Chain A
Amino acid sequence: MAMSRIRGAFAVPKKGETFELRAGLVSQYAYERKESIQKTIMAMTLGKDVSALFPDVLKNIATNDLEQKKLVYLYLMNYAKSHPDLCILAVNTFVQDSEDPNPLIRALAIRTMGCIRVDKMVDYMEEPLRKTLRDESPYVRKTAAICVAKLFDLNPALCLENGFLEMLQEMIGDPNPMVVANSVTALSEIYHAAPETQALKVTTNTLRKLLMALNECTEWGRVTILTTLAEYKTSEVNESEHICERVAPQFQHANPSVVLAAVKVVFLHMRNVNPELAKTYLKKMAPPLVTLVSSAPEVQYVALRNIDLLLQKQPDILNKELRVFFCKYNDPPYVKFQKLEIMVRIANDRNVDQLLAELKEYALEVDMDFVRRAVKAIGQVAIKIESASEKCVNTLLDLINTKVNYVVQEAIVVIKDIFRKYPGYEGIIPTLCQCIDELDEPNARAALIWIVGQYAEKISNAGDILAGFVEGFNEEFSQTQLQILTAVVKLFLKRPEKAQGLVQKVLQAATAENDNPDVRDRAYVYWRLLSNTSDPEATKNIVLSDKPPIVTTIHSLPPALLDQLLTELSTLASVYHKPPEQFVGQGRFGADAVQRAAIAEQIENARESPLAAAAAAAAVTGGAAAPQAQSNVENLLDIDFDGTAPASAQKEPGDGMSGLEGLAGTPVRVESPAVGAPAGSNNLDDLLGVFGDGGATSSASGSGAPNGGGAGADLMNGFAGLDLSGNSMASPPAGGSQPKKTNEDIMSLF
């Protein structure tokens, strides 16, 4: 369907059609000519190439019919490039028109001339432009002002030589507000295209003129002036105060883009005024921001993205407005998603009950994507507000009980994060383990396995659960594999008797049968740690150490980027939450800027919680694995250096090198004797060493139980260590009895 349509549009017009049009264009009757021009324009719109008619259309340029003139001009603008020589024929008409007594025609002529992007035309533009810039009619002047920007784009040198820039700068003082606005527009365009021209320099004097024009010009002109004011760096506090005072009334404008532009100006200049005054402005800007949320969905979306930015800088401004962000049933998904994020950001002790009830409602809807985000939001609220964590966990349990597959999966992922902040909710683990068979997404599986590993000593059938996963180890996604590996090792360290065979099996599968470097590397690290016979406590200290609780799972932008984006309020950059270099990337941005942007993005990605990244790339295994591995590197660093990781490693966590350095440092620091020797030798030896060591340990421990050899003693040691750590970790009494029981089991075994 689509293809044939495209082909139809591009097909060469039938001979007859062009012929007919041409005949009409040269007809002796005016109405026929006009009709043919209309048809030609229609064909042009449909994508047909009617450039062959250029000379014939051009013949109709000299007419008194304004409408026809406009059509011919429209055609000229489109096809001038294909017939640069013939354009010259139109010059005479343009020059004549630019002196027409009718201002509409003068303006039309100068407006069109600027759009005919042919070098020869430029030479003839100089005189008419100079005249029209000084025209008595403001309508012509405002059109000519924009034309200077057009000329600059075509031929900057000519524009500068003729002093058009200076003329434009003078026009900022024009008595007509619209001329002022357009002059500022043109100057700002030129300035951004070529900063060296210093085209738009706001001084105290121009500032006064801009503020005067602000209250009188059209809404679009106001946006231009406000944008310029936002870019202006004030030198003194008084000036900032004055700007804020004059701009704040614009909050009440009916046009949302004016409101956002005004918010931007006040928000940026507010930084210079005293905090008390700034506070009153923050208060003043809240109601207009809320009003933006009831505009058309697309405008709303832009507004919501901007509100998100403002909230990251000033978290309190919309504290009391939670209800406004409740999702309507008919809101488009992009609006709903953004509202969810904002609601989580403004959640606090007082409104959390209301929010939770609402989120639960969303979690029962049918749009899968929305439901998942709602569930995720519940988790974010739990981690953000400690006093509400219990309610959140209960809500999540309710949701798990609905047995809706994707709700359960998302809830498990979320609960894993809750455990990372509040380890005390282990009472709910049995409920979680019940849904083990329903999980088919790598994320959810990984989350549950992590929970099992983390609480291995409290889950009586942890071994059985993990055995099931080890069975199909090679069919799992790599992020799940990593978690299986870690969970089995944790289980082994906590309850060696249950997991000996398992740990063997999983290490074998992860090293010998797996190609993923992350999985292999982690398996080797564990293997080596486990083969460390001289100091078994060390392994436990490393793998089972208490990790610092996570602070938040709400995604926030890095402060530097946030500050940059606040200067870009209401632009595309503020919608994407990315610096403009990243998506504009053409022309005026140099290679340096692009590179800087790339680095910034890497840092941003690294900061993002691995889960968020994983969720985004759930389908792509490789993509999901990378951030996961990164976080592991960070975790390792945390453990080894007690949080005092070297600055280099923290600055660029995405960089493989720094991670490796940290790892290489590990054995030396903990002085592990088993690895002491191969540390200096080459890689092959190293690997062989690991294999040899691993093999020895496994065979020894395999036979350890019956004959009670050296390795058996080793195991005993290991167990004792676990017993201790188990006691120290088990805070609630319920789980406390468990290790003792297994202790007896083992004793009887011996």
Chain B
Amino acid sequence: MLSGILIFNQKGENLIFRAFRSDCRPRLADIFRIQVISNPQVRSPILTLGSTTFSHVKHENIYLVAVTKSNANAALVFEFLYRLVVLGKSYFGKLDEEAVKNNFVLIYELLDEILDYGYPQNTETDTLKMYITTEGVKSAIANSATDSSRITMQATGALSWRRADVKYRKNEAFVDVIEDVNLLMSATGTVLRADVNGQIIMRAYLSGTPECKFGLNDRLLLDSGDSSTSSSTPGNRDGTMKATRAAAGSVTLEDCQFHQCVKLGRFDADRIISFVPPDGEFELMRYRATENVNLPFKVHPIVREVGTTKVEYSVAIKANYSSKLFATNVVIRIPTPLNTAKTTERTSQGRAKYEPEHNNIVWKIARFSGGSEFVLTAEATLTSMTHQKAWSRPPLSLSFSLLMFTSSGLLVRYLKVFEKSNYSSVKWVRYMTRAGSYEIRF
């Protein structure tokens, strides 16, 4: 499998070099630097030279590189590199050149733990944090034999993601349903593509080894299963739950993916999501929906190129959700030609500013209540160029976040917790819709 992991900065300096097999020689670092970092022509993340393959991922200002020799599993290699990024972020807050330089000892330690002879081992952040820590003091815990045997049990156990002796005075679980809505609209206003990538983040503060059951308004489940399950939930005292139950209707989930704690066999058989959660925050599931996507914003851009020296914009945006809700941080990026000299903008709400470094007019609306409509008119003056090159007209893009709204219409029906001691628990649900890639061509 992996012969080595290398980390470079943008200048091509080797920050981390960890060989797992004898065939990963130091000069490979120079080869990667010359062939990939100093070579602007590279257009593939995979490069095979002779029998050596470099697979790289760029994150912030560093390159993470995996060296492989044989016909390695490419999907696994890239997924592992991304997992390394996730680990780095959770350890150092941010994985960039500075973080790597400041923590290189810890990174070596981590690599030693998560890869053995080039085969990935346990990469669960929470487990690793128990015995590989940023402070030297804490790692003393791992030195005592009894503690560490407990740790190692967990690192390899069937419930490798959870400690056995978790205790809370107040048992709580928070569920965040976060949807990224993707839109691609053509210049004529037809929706080319609209779908939702959702994730359900859970923060579980539950004692013992709780068995959880989680129910959504999943059409397949509602059609097949009986509807009595939702009424008989004694542990459910959450107000928001009741509110959402009123909203009938179901959602067709195109595909779901679950955290490794979810029993996939059960889901496959009867679409019941049942699991023993890790302690603290984790991503319970991801899903995709493509039917009946509610688009929170309608954008109607009119862009006119007047001769070769001027572009006129008129962009109207309308909120397509209930007036009780409001979106925050609405940002509309309106592309301008590369040779824009200056712009003038007028808006009916919010502020617009020209950002020459991104060739954008950025229009920001801090609070956008449902049902309202705002307009921007702008004009970009262009400098004349000797070589008149056509403007590629990149799509206009939107970002926003909107609370208590799901584009797919997904609702959490119940979350049931079963534990030996039979404690009661409190659950909270929150919904949010954000813009994924929300693009409108013009």
- Residues of A near any B CB (own CB < 8 A): 2, 5-6, 9, 38, 41-42, 44-47, 64, 66-67, 70-71, 74, 77-78, 81, 100-104, 107, 111, 114-115, 117, 137-140, 142-143, 146-147, 149-150, 176-179, 182, 185, 215-216, 218-220, 223-224, 227, 246, 248-250, 252-257, 259-261, 287-288, 290-291, 294, 296-299, 301-303, 306, 323-324, 326, 328-330, 332-334, 354, 357-358, 361, 364-366, 404, 568, 570-576, 580, 583-586
Which of B22-30, B367-375, B379-387, B411-419 contacts its partner?
Answer: B22-30
B34 beta carbon closer than 8 Å to chain A: yes
B260: which A residues are within 8 A, CB to CB?
218-219, 253-255
Which of B89-97, B156-164, B211-219, B426-434 contacts its partner?
Answer: B156-164
What's the count of A-B pairs with C-beta under 8 Å? 270
11 interchain pairs (CB within 8 A)?
A38-B105, A71-B105, A103-B148, A115-B20, A138-B157, A150-B117, A219-B123, A255-B79, A294-B288, A298-B81, A364-B393
B29/A47 in contact, CB under 8 A:
yes
Contact of B74 among A9, A139, A140, A574 (CB under 8 A): A574
Q: What string of 1s and 0s marks CB contacts (under 8 Å) between B389-419 and chain A? A: 1101111000000000000000000000000
B142: which A residues are within 8 A, CB to CB?
66, 102, 104
Question: In the bound complex, how far is the Cα of B394 from the Cα of A530, in angstroms?
Answer: 56
Smallest CB-CB A-B distances: 10 pairs: A139-B152, A287-B255, A580-B71, A249-B268, A249-B264, A220-B120, A257-B76, A101-B145, A257-B75, A366-B392
Given A71-B105, A252-B258, A583-B53; 16 other pairs, CB 8 A cutoff: A41-B104, A66-B143, A67-B136, A67-B139, A74-B112, A101-B145, A102-B148, A102-B149, A103-B145, A223-B73, A253-B257, A288-B255, A294-B197, A298-B55, A299-B79, A586-B69
A41 → B minimal CB distance (Å): 7
The chain B residue sitting closest to A34, CB to CB, is B136
- Residues of B near any A CB (own CB < 8 A): 11-17, 19-20, 22, 26, 29-30, 33-34, 38, 43-46, 48, 50-51, 53, 55, 57, 68-76, 78-82, 104-105, 108-109, 112, 116-117, 119-124, 131, 136, 139, 142-145, 148-149, 151-153, 155-158, 160, 184, 186, 192-193, 195, 197, 254-260, 262-265, 267-268, 283, 285-286, 288, 389-390, 392-395, 437, 439, 441
A586: which B residues are within 8 A, CB to CB?
50-51, 69
A576/B48 in contact, CB under 8 A:
yes
Interface core residue of A44, A149, A177, A571 (most chain B CB under 10 Å): A571
The chain B residue sitting closest to A8, CB to CB, is B13
Secondary structure at the A interface, as helix, strand, loop or mixed, is: helix
B255 → A minimal CB distance (Å): 4
Question: In the bound complex, how far is the Cα of B192 from the Cα of A354, in angstroms?
Answer: 8
A296/B82 in contact, CB under 8 A:
yes
B392/A41 in contact, CB under 8 A:
no
B53/A572 in contact, CB under 8 A:
yes
Given contacts A2-B12, A66-B139, contact A298 B78 (CB under 8 A): yes
Question: In the bound complex, how far is the Cα of B43 from the Cα of A290, in angstroms?
Answer: 23
B381 → A minimal CB distance (Å): 22
B75/A256 in contact, CB under 8 A:
yes
The chain B residue sitting closest to A255, CB to CB, is B79
Question: In the bound complex, how far is the Cα of B112 from the Cα of A66, in angstroms?
Answer: 13
The chain A residue sitting closest to B27, CB to CB, is A47
Given contacts A253-B260, A586-B51, contact A220 B119 (CB under 8 A): yes
A138/B192 in contact, CB under 8 A:
no
A2/B254 in contact, CB under 8 A:
no
A224: which B residues are within 8 A, CB to CB?
119
B155: which A residues are within 8 A, CB to CB?
139
The chain B residue sitting closest to A331, CB to CB, is B437
Given contacts A249-B267, A583-B48, contact A302 B116 (CB under 8 A): no
B46/A70 in contact, CB under 8 A:
no
Contact of B30 among A6, A45, A290 (CB under 8 A): A6
B105: which A residues are within 8 A, CB to CB?
38, 41, 67, 71
Question: In the bound complex, how far is the Cα of B390 from the Cα of A117, in angstroms?
Answer: 61
